[in-house]
Amino acid sequence: MKTRQLVEGAMIAALFGLVSILNSYSAGMMDSLVGYFMVVPIAWYGYRYNLKDNMIVAFVSVLIVIFTGLPMFIFIAIYSSMFGLFLGESLKRKLKKEWILLGGFIVSFIANIMLYEVLSGLFGIDLIAQLTQSYKNAIEFWPSLKKYISLSQVKNMIPLFILGVSFMECYVMLALTQIILMRFHIPFPESFHLSTFRLSRKAGLVCAILLAVSFLLRSNGMKNIFVNYTYYLTYMIFVVAGLSYFSFFFVLQGKPGASALLILLLIIPITPILYAIVGGIDTITQRKNTIYDEIMKNANHGDVKE
């Protein structure tokens, strides 16, 4: 058994080295895509064996990438390994879906904060310059957009951008890993489809208080990083709750793929506000959760028609 464990760990480390070399030959064009898939073997190994052994495999894998990969890919390998370590341990301990989502988001958020706020100089990433250029390109294509959103407003949305990227990366890695690992008969707590996002009334109340307090502090001139991220994080939670509400009813209509369209609509400035309002109302009324629980209750009793 120990021999098999060592062989499987060595194969994972070798896989990291192989994709690192291939990524170097492609000049880093596959950075993020490969990073999403690298979560899978670490999570799989962590589910089968203990955390200490998985940490050793992850460390060796990253060490190989350091000697074979591009600088940016080294960071991605560390990010993927951290996420895989967390996910493997969570599945083994059979944590609830909400805790897996929260923990995965925290790992993604910390990684992106390190990338954009700490390691930007090392990797030559200037997020403000990139957003400025994107804004100018958008204005050239759609001049009237300048009436609705200014460059300063775009820069103020950097915390929301980082939070949004963190959430999307967490969601993609969880969904991708679930699809692959379930084929190896590794159970997941529930589906990670957007429509299944649940926010209790108590959690919603806490988020609403934090949102209100941070909004008042920002309105009175206090815009430090903690206040900004608290405001945008709680705001985004209600946006996701609204997204989940609409997505859920699309699923009931037999159109689960409509979730992608709902996400794309976020590029329209008024849409996130609409989602947040709907998410807040649904959190108070708990309408979606009530219907969802009723469907699951009927399904467990065999009342749902095939």
Render the burial of 78-107: b for 16+ CB within 10 Å, e for the rest: bbbbbbbbbbbbbbbeebebeebbebbbeb
- Is the model's pLDDT at 5 over the cut of 70? yes
Query: Bigger pLDDT: 1 or 247?
Result: 247
Give the tens place of pLDDT for each residue, 6-27: 899 999 999 888 888 887 777 6
**Looking at residues 266-273, what average pLDDT do you find?**
80
* Residue 11: predicted pLDDT: 92
- Sorted by sequence, the CB contacts under 8 Å of residue 27 that are 6+ apart come out as none
Tokens found for residue 217: 């502090």
Query: Bigger pLDDT: 146 or 40?
Result: 40
Query: Bigger pLDDT: 88 or 169?
Result: 88
Predicted TM-score (pTM) of this structure: 0.71
Tokens found for residue 263: 């996400």
* Residue 304: predicted pLDDT: 43
- Is the model's pLDDT at 303 over the cut of 60? no
**Looking at residues 161-177, what average pLDDT do you find?**
82
Q: What integer best gives the mean pLDDT of the chain?
A: 81
